[in-house]
Structure 1
Amino acid sequence: MVRTRISARRTQLYKIKLINRIRRSKKLLVLDLDHTLINDDSDEVVPVTRPYLRRFLTSVYKHYNLAIWSASSMKRIKRVLKELALDKDQRFRFSFLVCHKAMRSVKKGGKCVTTKPLAVIWENFCRWSAKNTIIIDDKGENFLRNPREGLKIKRFECERRDRELRKLSVYLRKISKYRDFRVLNHKKWKNCY
């Protein structure tokens, strides 16, 4: 059993700072960084980007406000985005960044697991909720508190033939037309492209 209750007081402790304007009519797409969009484990000086990354971000930006939520520090998130020039690309913009300080622990099977509770974002921005938010991550435990809003993708290990983002962009474009994401089962996303 997973304990998923999170107090409003704890979620309000983390204040999110906007880095680009929010487009009012767009839903929210929260993206993990490590092993979802990039791989920083290799011997490369600069992190390796997942194939189709820029094309993916450009495509989904038409339908979503974009945010990064990483288990790393804010300093590292900004450094990686700058090194890869993802912070200056005119075709897409990240509305905000969330770091490890916003993560919360839950007990699962007697163990403590760190998660990314979307309540942290929803407390900062009342325009978003379970109706219009989706979080993409390679670790399913990161959305233990929001299992219906989470979409797990294959971990990126620098494979050149990786097509995950290309497939995911098709799914995200299709579901962007839904008024309420709560009717969707993101576990079956690969059946939709």
Structure 2
Amino acid sequence: MRLFFFLTFLCSMKWVELKMGELGVLSNPNYKITALLDHLAMITVQSDARGIFDCKPLGLIWAHFPEFYSKKNTIMFDDLRRNFVMNPKNGLTIKPFRKAHANRDSDQELVKLTEYLLAIAELDDISKLDHSKWKYYAEDGSKRRRHA
């Protein structure tokens, strides 16, 4: 199985492309980005608990490309859990990356996330996992690999 990554940003595509270009994401063959989505890809929903807000609708991507993408092979990460309201089984909450200039060398969130994604990449259906426990799963998996 192959996992697919969609990057969604709360700004215009102009800024998305600029930021990703500056980071070298678009030109580096090691990044396997399926698509970049700007704020226009989000939909507005209403919730009793959260009121009116925008969220990321994976269902739209699945509907447009059912031969490639489904709830079984797609995961999204965000620091805002509400962005997964339409697809809670396919969302993974990560820490926000703040103070990049000070934390760039010590932040381990993406390292742990990489371990988790590698651990689940071969599963038939990642929507059956409890992604809220991803850090523990990644730690257990890396311990098994180190001791194997």
Question: TM-score, normalising length from structure 2?
Answer: 0.83
Determine the structure 1 residue equivalent to 2:110.
165
> Residue 122 of structure 1 is aligned with which of 47, 55, 62?
62
Determine the structure 1 residue equivalent to 2:36.
97
Cα separation, 1, equivalents of 2:85 and 2:93: 11
Q: Which moved more, 1:168-177 or 1:90-99?
A: 90-99
Consecutive unaligned residues of structure 1, counting only runs of 5 or more, are 1-24, 30-66
Tell me by how many angstroms 1:128 deviates: 0.9
Determine the structure 2 residue equivalent to 1:176.
121
Structure number with higher strand proportion: 1
Cα separation, 1, equivalents of 2:31 and 2:41: 24
Aligned length: 132
Instruction: Tell me if the contact between 1:102 and 1:120 (Cα under 8 Å) persists in the aligned partners.
Output: no
Consecutive unaligned residues of structure 2, counting only runs of 5 or more, are 140-148
Instruction: Tell me if the contact between 2:4 and 2:33 (Cα under 8 Å) persists in the aligned partners.
Output: no
Cα separation, 1, equivalents of 2:112 and 2:18: 28
Structure number with higher helix proportion: 2
Find out whether 1:69 has 2:8 as its counterpart. Answer: yes
> Residue 4 of structure 2 is aligned with which of 17, 28, 42?
28
Question: Secondary structure at the residue paired with 1:120?
Answer: helix
User: Could you report, residue by residue, the CA deviation over 1:61-101 in whole angstroms, capped at 9, with x for unpaired residues?
Assistant: xxxxxx21112111110011112222111222422211111
Question: TM-score, normalising length from structure 1?
Answer: 0.64
Larger RCO, structure (CA 8 Å, separation 6 or more): 1
Give the letter aligned to residue 90 of structure 1: P
Instruction: Tell me if the contact between 2:89 and 2:128 (Cα under 8 Å) persists in the aligned partners.
Output: no
Find out whether 1:150 has 2:95 as its counterpart. Answer: no
Percent identity between the two aligned chains:
36
Determine the structure 2 residue equivalent to 1:186.
131
